[in-house]
Amino acid sequence: MDNYPEASNVIHSFTHSRIWIGKFSFWRKENGWIRDAKTQLSRMKVLRVALDVPVAKLFDYLIDDASPVVAGDRVVVPFGARQRVGVVAEVADTSTVAASRLKPVERVLEDAPRLTTGWLELMRFLSAYYQRPFGETVAAALPARLRSLKALPKRRKSGDKETSDAAHLFVSGHDPNPAQSGAIERIGAALGSFRPFLLHGITGSGKTEVYLRLIAQVLSRGMQALVLVPEIGLTPQLEGRFRHAFPGARIAVLHSALQDTARTHAWLDAARGDAPIVLGTRLAVLAPLPRLGIVVVDEEHDASFKQQEGLRYSGRDAAVLRAKFAACPVVLGSATPSLETWFNCRAGRYALLALPERAVPGARLPAVRTVDLRIESAEHGLAKPVLEAIRARLARGEQSLVFINRRGYAPVLSCEACGWAAGCARCSAHMVVHSTDRSLHCHHCGARQKVPRECPSCGNVDLRPLGRGTQRIEETLTALFPEARILRIDRDSTRKRSDLARTLEGIGRGEGDILVGTQLLAKGHDFPNLTLVCVLNADSALLSTDYRSAERLFATLSQVGGRSGRREQPGEVLVQTRYPGHPMFQALMRHDYAGFAESQLAERESAGFPPFVHEAALRAEATRLDATMTFLRAAARLIEVPDGVQIYDPVPHVITRRAGFERAQLLLQSPSRPALQEFLRLWSAALPASTSSGVRWHLDVDPIEFD
């Protein structure tokens, strides 16, 4: 080998007996090497590999032409001074990289199923649409274990009861009503072809029963079902329904709170086809399912389906695309569909199926009334009609829910003497008082500190909490109703998923007389003895500058109100507000989602908001706001903006400083999605990967948050 000084740069081992130098191969013979001049580079093939690096390109590697490796295989390759696991995106005969610079693949991994062509196509679309490198997109879809050099966990053994026949066993809950039967028939007739459906069912209308019966049909055909829910907290209850309905089927549960081994096992069960049902949050839509027969997105309107870090994809939109690639129906279920989905129904792109009645015979939607705070005083945050309604439920042995979407004791700690208010040193936001540990918490960056003994500004020891959160309402109710069993359900009281599941099961059994909770209780739960819902602090959301605030508030109040009266006892919803005549409250009282949606769409069209235009946001942050704004202004002038695309001036976020970084953004709009996408493709390629001023940036396509 001494005759080849370039060997130190271009020798790469394929096996223990063969190496390559440039275009020549060498074979080990005893203690030396011999050159096989007949073996040329033409007998190699080029693998274009996707790696988890922030570079929008594939990386070329060599492998013997006789190797059966194809697109979708995972491979180990050298990258810099280390080895990485990548996914083969393409196989080619030639490379634009000089032959002397090409390195060979270290090995092909065969410990997991090959990623399918359809799955790779989905990744390509998500990468292009959301403007993320293909390698990062692929990596975001794989469990960490499949991206590492560590061996995969040993394959789980199937349970003794899990046979192909048992997997098809369906245990029915009850006979469907005519509306449910009609929906099942319409969607069932579309099995085997792509067709999007909106299942618009009021709260308690039995959407889950429709899902179950459709999945039973899919499983009988030997196919798989994918079911998405917006939040981890909703998975235990739905998982229980599915396990009862399909006692012989393996169910793969996928969400971000799973430990690495559990998530890997679930992903492998889905990819191998061992799990006929895959249930999970938005990341489950990225799992490969070789025999996908139906996709269900429950509570499709929920903002939790939008990923807010890394690959900022919409789980709902990806689910529709997934169904299209798999040629199967997709069912979007909601009592309060997103305006984008409603707009697609109106345009004929989605089929609308209605469930206008509650599934339990005799159950009716609750009566909704407003409590006018201009007339009724709300001592300690609770108006007299609300307290009387709670007292009446206690006398009848029924449950009440007091809903306030603000955890903690009080949103502000202030000094009446000088006007000081406790603020977060790292965020432009107040710190929230928490009574359980007498501390101040920042709900934006997580910072904590003890409640000061005196005002840091003037020394006044009389510091007062302003406003109310779940802890303060719980304290007030405990004092007013000492005989009642009061349960508080928020992220502070249920830090573990197991705690939340146990609490919800107990409520369903009748444990607890008065529930105090946040959005954790707003959707997906069935409490048979709950007949009263009281909503506090609704006006704060109504007065938001976000154009989506009315839509979200209507959805939240419809969902939380829908927890009441789900059996024969009539339900009631009381909403405390200073604006009882607002059209949103009026539509809520009539249970008129369609009328509300049409009025909102008319407002969006006149104002030039989605879904009548398409949006993207360039967001940036730095330790100094002037650096952030300078970067955004320069970005807006980076390339010529075509007709039909508009870039607005950069503005700071509402909460400008967060975790020590000053944040700002600029908004892009276009009535043409292709025009916006083409501009984003050129623009993102021109944006710097890093900036000398320490600015971090990202693009968010179809943004839904503007805080």
Write the pLDDT tens digit of every residue in 471-490.
Answer: 999 999 999 999 999 998 88
pLDDT at 165: 55
Residue 167, pLDDT > 80, answer: no
Return d(Cα 238, Cα 645) in angstroms, integer: 43
Paired with 618 in beta bridges are 666, 699
Measure Cα distances from 193 to 187, 188, 320 in Å: 10, 10, 13
Residue 14, pLDDT > 90, answer: no
Bigger pLDDT: 51 or 409?
51
Topology (CATH) of 367-409+468-603: Rossmann fold (3.40.50)
Topology (CATH) of 166-355: Rossmann fold (3.40.50)
pLDDT at 105: 95
Return d(Cα 458, Cα 467) in angstroms, integer: 22
Rounded (5°) CA angle 475-476-480: 120
pLDDT at 10: 36
Threshold 0.85, pTM exceeds: yes
Binned at pLDDT 50, 70 and 90, residue 168 comes out as low
pLDDT at 298: 96
Binned at pLDDT 50, 70 and 90, residue 37 comes out as very low
Burial 243-254 (b: 16+ CB within 10 A, else e): eebbebbbbbbb
Binned at pLDDT 50, 70 and 90, residue 78 comes out as very high
Read off the pLDDT of residues 310-329 as tens digits, 9 standing for 90 and up.
999 999 999 999 999 999 99
pLDDT at 707: 65
Bigger pLDDT: 3 or 366?
366
pLDDT at 587: 96
Bigger pLDDT: 437 or 211?
211
Return the minimum-mean-pLDDT range out of 64-68, 427-431, 543-547: 543-547
Domain boundaries, the chain: 40-116, 166-355, 367-409+468-603, 614-701
Residue 591, pLDDT > 60, answer: yes
User: What CATH number labels 614-701?
Assistant: 3.30.70
**Tokens encoding 534:** 């009281």
Question: Percent of the chain, pLDDT > 90?
Answer: 70
Q: Starting at the edge strand that comes first in sequence, how are the strands of the sheet with 59-64 ordered? A: 103-104, 59-64, 44-50, 82-92, 74-79, 107-109
Question: Percent of the chain, pLDDT > 70?
Answer: 91
Section 699-705 average pLDDT = 94
Residue 652, pLDDT > 90, answer: yes
CA-nearest of 290, 282, 167 to 219 is 167
**Tokens encoding 235:** 């998975």
Read off the pLDDT of residues 610-647 as tens digits, 9 standing for 90 and up.
999 999 999 999 999 999 999 999 999 999 999 999 99
CA-nearest of 22, 20, 141, 136 to 84 is 136
Alpha helices in 364-460 (DSSP H): 384-396
pLDDT at 682: 95
Spatial contact of 58 and 48, defined as CB atoms under 8 Å apart: yes
pLDDT at 172: 77
Residue 234, pLDDT > 90, answer: no
Q: Do domains 367-409+468-603 and 614-701 have the same CATH topology?
A: no
Bigger pLDDT: 31 or 79?
79
Spatial contact of 266 and 253, defined as CB atoms under 8 Å apart: yes
Domain 40-116, CATH number (from 3.40.1440.60, 3.90.25.10, 3.30.70.2190, 1.10.10.10): 3.40.1440.60
Return d(Cα 218, Cα 116) in angstroms, integer: 21
Residue 18, pLDDT > 60, answer: no
Q: What is the DSSP letter of 15?
A: S
As a three-state string, the secondary structure of 143-164 is CHHHHCCCCCCCCCCCCCCCCC
pLDDT at 568: 76
